[in-house]
Chains A and B, each alone.
Chain A
């Protein structure tokens, strides 16, 4: 086993956007007993000597204009949770330790990434992108890795036998020993692990408690350490807050991106993909703006999700500045078998049609992408099923259709959406067993509503030539009764239209299609 310990000592500052780089000194404090202790300080405060672990009063003496903020453990916890999900992309065994440390077993995943160096490089690249200060340690036992991270020991110690010589120079307080034990050991002149290891076990246990030899055994791999692997939440829902309201929707892309990255880690970790996600923008005194985004095809790809959300944000107008953002994956499904081409490396795969349609739909609106299927019905307006959105249902096939013709069941919701009337009202469609496929030429464009000929631009009866009529009589069973005579109408200016008149009102002519 090879453990990678990632410690994020600066998390309290790093989880506050802009806090590290701002010019006013800022420190995060926490009440410990009756005193307030500094947990972390930003760059401006550190210059003036403010350090983690100082009492608040001492820090304020060092730096008069120091601003303090109370620690928000929930933010740090969320950040750690997100990091743990990310780490699950590199290893199946990830554990959290304390408030700020992640333990990742990378020994088993080395081969997947080629070799150890590449794996560590990939991890380092990801961490750099996150903007979180991190120290790392790599060793054959988890607690040694933790110790190396905390002490800033840069070596990789793969062999248990080598651990002993590498820890000798490290000071005791970097390890997991309780503070009072460390102090007591310091009292007898033992400050480093080297001195501690030279002392006899029994004496140590008798004078400082069993905890000391146990700690040494765990460190050197002679005693098993209990590591509780990360459990993954069943649903993904994360919230991000920030101190100032953001009104520009493109600036919101940054927090949205962070949430989407966490969501993508979650999806990879639990081997799922999402088809629908919800973004809720919280305002100070206004109900939340909620956006539901549907994807045509389920995806777990971070860049694709970001592209879809970016396209949606581009046309988003918020009623008010936004102070918090919640991302929820409302629909997920188990990941299909990997579809990535064996020889196409990640990042080089061309965009597929579904991704393109998702992106276009994100920008143009949910009803902008129209897809079509042909249904068997003589009435032209029912002959085509249009589906809005990039999602496409395959045609229902099967034996139940004849039965449906007589019994008129309401049908499943999918069929309803599928066969909805182009005008928008949802209506159950029947398959007519006597409909023979028509051979007559149909127009390329169909008007959404038949239009009286008088309203058609440059329409002139004197210049019109009609074809033989085609009678279409259908729909007596579903309240959309139609008895119409259809003609192809050629105008002398070259335009060919598809016109009809109702049998009941033979003098009212309508244009329904254009032979483009």
Chain B
């Protein structure tokens, strides 16, 4: 029996609550207080990060831009897939994104967007990829997660907040409502804090830990 458990624990896709280490490499988010909490000290690479936001314009993209810019080191690319509007190049350039290695893929259907994202992630060309999706089934998310594991990319999926309650294979899930940022799920347990406040600054956003915050177990839905 003990041997069975040992072999189970050795599996890469099994983790124990309370175990605070990253199973995949990470990339610093550029937000000090967030890095302090995330396992491995940053956004997970080779895994899917899901951001569920209540409405566009909350700073959901600004939150990721420092990491996107850093992910483009070593001549790698940044791809946006089916963004809700056309990305505005001056703002991206100001955030340190090299426009020569940036492209936006406009897709007409969810299937196309998923296909394109999967191809891009598997190719290993992208340092980072952001994908905007509405509804999609768990199977599609699973495929995305698998594709993200292949390339060493920062893969970010943006979805409406309504999906935050649904199951998802993403390694890190974040809910964004108003100025409140909440970590819904995190592979490799979190530190003390799971709630943050997003503050707008002239050059992006800054993330601050919310003072009164209970320790949140992984998977546990706060509130």
Contacts and interface: CB of A to CB of B under 8 A. Distances in A.
Contact of A516 (B56, B124, B125): B56
Given A368-B107, A515-B59, A444 B88 contact: yes
Interface residues of B, number: 47
A380 interface: yes
Contacts of A357: 103
B125 A356 contact: yes
B50 interface: no
A9 interface: no
Interface string B89-112: 111111000011111111100001
A457 interface: yes
Q: Mostly helix, strand, loop or mixed at chain A's interface? A: mixed
Contact of B120 (A352, A356, A497): A356
A471 B37 CA distance: 42
B141 interface: no
Contacts of B43: none
A205 interface: no
Interface string B149-173: 0000000000000000000000000
A460 B100 CA distance: 38
Interface string A361-384: 001100111111110000010011
Nearest to A441: B202
Contacts, number: 145
Nearest to A491: B57
Contacts of B134: none
Nearest to A511: B57
A386 B86 contact: yes
Contacts of A351: 123-125
A373 B99 contact: yes
A516 B86 contact: no
Contacts of B178: 493-494
Contact of B125 (A353, A374, A390, A443): A353
Interface string A329-370: 000000000000000000000111100110110011001111
A479 B49 CA distance: 45
B28 to A, nearest CB: 21
Interface stretch (B2-10, B15-23, B77-85): B77-85
Contacts of B62: 444, 515-516
Interface string B184-208: 0000000000000010101100000
Contacts of B119: 356, 359-360
B90 A370 contact: no
B91 A493 contact: no
Interface in A490-507: 490-491, 493-497
Interface of B: 54-62, 65, 77, 83-94, 99-107, 112, 115-116, 119-120, 123-125, 177-179, 198, 200, 202-203
Interface of A: 350-353, 356-357, 359-360, 363-364, 367-374, 380, 383-384, 386, 390, 392, 422, 438, 441-448, 457-458, 490-491, 493-497, 513-516
25 contacts: A360-B116, A363-B115, A364-B105, A364-B106, A364-B107, A364-B112, A370-B105, A371-B99, A372-B92, A383-B90, A384-B88, A392-B100, A438-B90, A442-B91, A445-B56, A445-B84, A446-B86, A446-B87, A446-B88, A493-B54, A493-B178, A494-B59, A494-B178, A513-B88, A514-B85
